[in-house]
Amino acid sequence: SQFSLCFSNKRGYKSVCPLVAKLKRFYEFSLRLENALRSLLEALTSPPYAPMQHLEREQALAKQFAEILHFTLSFDELKMTNPAIQNDFSYYRRTISRNRLNNQQLEAENEVNNEMANRMSLFYAEATPMLKTLSNATTKFVSENKTLPIEDTTDCLSTMACVCRVMLETPEYRCRFTNTDTMLFCMRVMVGVIILYDHVHPVGAFAKTSKIDMKGCIKVLKEQPSNSVEGLLNALRYTTRHLHDDSTSKQIRALLQ
C-alpha cells in the first residue's frame, strides 16, 4: 500500500541521514585541507631557500604536508572501494527533491540543503575526491603566484618524492621502520607528491626530463604485497595527467599495466 511504501521510504531516509551528515563533515574538511595545503606550499617554497633547505629547516611543516597526503590517499582508497557512498547520497537527494515538490521539509535538510547537496554531489562524483581537491589547490597555487618560479613548487614535490623513494629502497633506512604502517605512510606520501607534481609540471612526472625517478618509485611499490599497494598503483594509473603522453616511455607504461 501507499502508506507502507511511504513508511519504508521514511525509514530508509532516516537511516541514510547520519551517513549524509558524515559525508558533509568530510566535504567541509576537504575545504579546510585545501586552505592548509596552500599555506604549507607557501611556507615550503618561499625564497630565498632551496626546496631541500626548506624541508630541513621546516621539518614540522613538511611532516604536516606528508600527513595531509597520507590522509588524502587513505580516504580516497576507502571511497573507491565503497560504491554505497554515492548510492546512499543519490537516494538522499531524490528524497529531498521529492519532499520539495510536496512542500515538505525534513529536519535533515536543515543540515544538508539542496545547494550543499549539489556541491557535495560534485565532490563525491570524483573517483578520488580528496586528491582532486589537492591537485586543484596546487594548480591554483602555482597559477596565482606568478612571481614564484614554478620550479620552486615542483622541486619541493620532487624532493619529497625522492626522500620517500630512498627511504623505501635503502635497506639501512627501511630496517628502521618498526611497522608496516610507517612503510604505507611513506608510500602514500610518495604517490601523493608524484600526482601533485604531474598536475602542475608542464610536462609532468613521467617525461625523461622529470626530476622524479618514476621507474624507481614504481619498482619500490611493486616490491610490496599487492593488496597494500594496488590502490596506490591505481592512483598513478587513473589520477595523473601525463601517463599517456607521447613523452612517457614504454617501459614506464608497461610497469603500470
The DSSP secondary-structure symbol of 210 reads -
- Asked whether the beta carbons of 166 and 160 are under 8 A apart, the reply is no
pLDDT at residue 8, as a whole number = 41
Q: Are 111 and 18 in contact (CB under 8 A)?
A: no
Provide the pLDDT for residue 14: 72
The three three-digit cell numbers of residue 70, written as one number: 597520507
| pLDDT computed for residue 218 by the predictor | 95
pTM to 2 decimal places = 0.86
Label residue 52 by pLDDT band (50, 70, 90). confident
Provide the pLDDT confidence category of residue 2 given band limits of 50, 70 and 90: very low
